[in-house]
Structure 1
Amino acid sequence: MNFQPSARQRELVVLAGDLARTQFAPRAAMYDQQASFPFENYADLRQTGLLALCIPERYGGMGADFATYCLVSEEIARSCGATALTFNMHCSTMMWIGPLADELDMSPAERQAHESRRARVYQHVLENGHLYAQPFSEGHQNRSGRLIFQCQAQRTEGGFRISGKKIFASLADAAHYFGVLARLDDDDDDGDDASSIHYLAVEANAPGVSIEGDWNPLGMRGTVSRDLVMQDCFVPEHAQLLPEGIYQQAARRWPHMFLTLAPTYLGLTQAAYDFTVDYLSGRVAGGPPSSERIAPIKQYAVAEQLIRLEAARALLYRSISEAGLDPAPEALRRAFAANRTVMETATQVTADAIRTCGGRSMLKPLPLERYYRDARCGALMQPWTADNCLERIGSSVLPAPKGTMSP
């Protein structure tokens, strides 16, 4: 397996990294303090063309594939976790309807209709700089912790009528469209049947759409993930992001599509490690004297952080290299393991970094306390929460006997 990035991947990582270091990093504390969306960062992403990172080249985009996106996301997260996390929602939408959809089974009529619809989406991004959000959470789960979608869509002339609520809707104040998963209310199920799910683009300023609730969380404050409420909102036929039945095929056959949050948290972990090294090397203003910085216990602690960081990176990169259609069971288990490992490692390394650097390091405006708070959010991120990953690995290795239910 070759884990070395290509020349094109290196080019895009350098582009994103330079932008993030020079523009995003200086603003990150402000967005965190105000719990405000990084509009200025997205203006920079538009100007550099990075909003089109995952739009195929034949449409005028940069043509980044799954692995390339992951490398870019990791690089952005080293400077601003909230920007990287919200950028994931937008880029995932572009990938799902693009190269990922191309690998899935569709009838000729479905593929023709999808081609027309996604061309419209890409045009919105390329010509108008539109952002697409991807809210998942509704607060409903089945016994194993998997999501149950209760937003309802009803067929009507020219499209759908949709009603429901999504919580933690990142980009709530910034998105032009929300990619909403909803079930048809003429399907006789309780919301736990993936075959009833439709993936629709809800326009942010459409009648019946509102953004509600306060936003004052522990971490990832710049994501502005307020509640998205839809009341009998009309969604035109051409706003189907995937043809009927294709989302559930994608979730079943291309499950690595849900691994795209992990690179953000790997980037956060790298940032915490880098800060620790700089702080203990005397390169951060206000740091401790050299007599307190360089001691065997500090050296051991930094070594432990590096080992955890590189172990998480190796597992994630291998899983990224295995992403594709119909992965083997062991590859899917490895993806769950990689996602959970990255999230838990981010929490552990950021906490260890504070302990290693000492009390001064957790004071604002130093970024380490922000890294720690942002990292705490990773294990809760849907759809692959840390606990859900454990359940899926365990049930795959030791399935419950027939006629019984998993706890």
Structure 2
Amino acid sequence: MLAKTVQDFAQDYLAPMAPILDEREEFPMENFHRLASMGLLGITIDEKYGGAGGGFKEFSIVTEEIAKACGATSAIYGSHIGLVLQSIARFGNEEQKSRFLPPLIDGTSVGAWGLTEPESGSDVASMSTTSTSGDGLYRLNGTKHFITNGDVADTFVIYATQNRELKSKGVNCLVVDRNTPGFQTIKQDGKLGMKASSTAELIFEDCPVPEKNRLGEENTGFYSAMQILESSRIAIAAQSVGIGQACLEAATNYAVSRKTFNNPIASYQAIQWMLADMATEIDAARLLTRRASILKDMKEPHNKEASMAKLFASESANRAATKAVQILGGYGYFKSSHVERYFRDAKITEIYEGTSEIHRMIISRSIINQANNN
């Protein structure tokens, strides 16, 4: 029922708007508000805070259907729930959850999550943004980079270190309001894909943040960030499955209608094998994603499984996008085909929330550690 409801909405409303928003590079605020009105911004969040309940299985189902229709909207959605709401719901106290979650769930506020920096991507512990405490405040100084929703968000979850020499042991997680003095955002234009999702640089200049806005205990921010990333990668896997499925359907529809030498190109083995590979990989990616989401919902270890799902799904989506363009030929190279947009949108899934190389490292470490402990 959930999948069908979201699928109908996504195909009827999100899909027709996707190429227009992509062309304009315009944040789809109307999409965001419609998702809120359907209760979809509250998935995974307790009903006592206005949430819709459910778990990561439901979150991944919704994300896949949104991504199939509009990759940019799925990026906005995934970051808002998987990073921002999850950070507050899992590490905030009761007062913080009651204060921050309702406006993020009802669509009044857009959330952004600030971890990445110009000189600190995969090496999170080397962040240079600082939080100096005193007089009941933290003073933030530094810059965050490539932050999804950053140009339009009102509520920001920011990670900053109290002492760079402490590396992972000196990081705090703070909730920052857009109107805080000394805080500004600069939109980062010129992306290859996901053009309708906002990406921004965040600049903090002696920015005061109340101590009551710290999520979790002092100096535990690095560990909370790693836990959030561990589960949010399931959403990127689901996003990748959605993009891959869109590629498969577009390529199949074209192959059965396009004729060469008086025959549909779907009758040729070369095309059939590409479609078979696409379908098999996408289905496998979906099953890996479901397994990771179920483990997360059961509160079982899922770090390796989430990385496997994210790695395989993202690379499968990119292979599917390449094959879709190839099947459509010259038409696939133009925006009117939609697969051109899928091709551009797919690439980032191999980069954000852990590159493919990082996930191969996580998976291999898990395998080796298990062998050493046997």
Q: Structure 2-normalised TM-score?
A: 0.89
> How far is the alpha carbon of 1:394 from its aligned partner?
2.9
The counterpart of 2:116, out of the listed 131, 134, 137, is 137
* Structure 1 position 321, deviation (Å): 1.9
Superimposed CA distance per residue, residues 48-78 of structure 1 (whole angstroms, 9 cap, x where no aligned partner) = 2322233311222211312211111111101
Distance 1:165 1:252, change over 3 A: closer
Q: Which residue of 2 is the match for residue 171 of structure 1?
A: 149
1:323 matches 2:296: yes
Number of residue pairs matched by the alignment: 365
Unaligned residue ranges in structure 1 (runs of 5+)? 1-9, 102-112, 400-407
- Residues 305 and 349 in structure 1, CA contact (< 8 A), matched pair in contact too: yes
Aligned to 1:104: none
Instruction: Give the partner amino acid of 2:18.
Output: A
Deviations 1:279-321 (A, max 9, x none): 2233xxxx55662433222222211111111122222222222
Please show how residues 95-134 of structure 1 align to structure 2 within 5 Å. 95-98=86-89, 100-101=90-91, 114-126=93-105, 129-134=108-113
Q: Which amino acid aligns with 1:59?
A: Y
Measured after TM superposition, the shift of residue 322 of structure 1 is 1.8
- Give the whole-Å Cα distance in 2 for the aligned partners of 1:90 and 1:74: 15
Distance in 2 (CA, whole Å) between partners of 1:28 and 1:297 is 31
Aligned match of 1:212: 186
Separation in structure 1 between the aligned mates of residue 116 and residue 155 of structure 2, nearest angstrom: 16
SS of aligned partner of 1:241:
coil
Residues 378-402 of structure 1: CA deviation (Å, up to 9, x unaligned): 11113x2111111222344447xxx
- Give, in angstroms, the shift of residue 147 of structure 1: 5.4
Report the 3-state secondary structure (helix = DSSP H, G, I; strand = E; otherwise coil) of the residue aligned with 2:185.
strand
What pairs up with 1:41-60 in 2 under 5 angstroms? Answer: 41-60=31-50
Residue 5 (structure 2) pairs with residue 27 (structure 1): no
Question: In the alignment, residue 349 of structure 1 is paired with which amino acid?
Answer: A
Q: Structure 2 matches for 1:1-400, cutoff 5 A?
A: 10-11=1-2, 13-92=3-82, 93-98=84-89, 100-101=90-91, 114-126=93-105, 129-141=108-120, 145=123, 148-184=126-162, 187=163, 189-190=164-165, 193-212=167-186, 214-251=188-225, 256-259=230-233, 260-282=235-257, 288=259, 291-294=263-266, 295-323=268-296, 327-328=300-301, 331-382=302-353, 384-398=354-368
Alpha carbons 1:200, 1:242 under 8 Å: kept: no
CA distance in 1, matches of 2:127, 2:259: 51
The 1:306/1:215 distance shift into structure 2, 3 A limit, reads same
Change (3 A) 1:52 1:393: closer
Q: 1:146 to 1:166 in 2, by over 3 A?
A: closer
In the alignment, the residues of structure 2 paired with residue 139 and residue 314 of structure 1 have an alpha-carbon distance, to the nearest angstrom, of 35
Task: Check conservation: 1:256, 1:324, Cα contact below 8 A.
Answer: no
Other-structure match for 2:372: none
Q: 1:86 to 1:141 in 2, by over 3 A?
A: same
Q: Is contact 2:256–2:264 with CA below 8 Å preserved after alignment?
A: no
State whether residues 68 and 245 of structure 2, in contact with CA within 8 Å, keep that contact through their aligned partners in structure 1.
yes
Q: Let me know the Cα RMSD of the aligned residues.
A: 2.5
Three-state SS of the structure 2 residue aligned to 1:134 is strand
Shift of 1:326: 7.6
| Contact 1:254–1:324 (8 Å) recurs in 2 | no
Cα distance in structure 1, aligned partners of 2:303 and 2:39: 33
Secondary structure of the corresponding residue to residue 232 of structure 1: strand
SS of 1:233's partner is: strand
The Cα of 1:238 is off from its aligned counterpart by: 2.9
Identity of aligned residues (%): 25
| 5+ residue gaps, structure 2 | 370-374
Give me the whole-angstrom Cα distance separating, in 2, the residues matched to 1:229 and 1:43.
27
Q: Secondary structure at the match of 1:222?
A: coil
Q: Structure 1 residues 288 and 190, CA, compared in 2 at 3 Å: closer, same or farther?
A: farther
TM-score by length of 1: 0.82
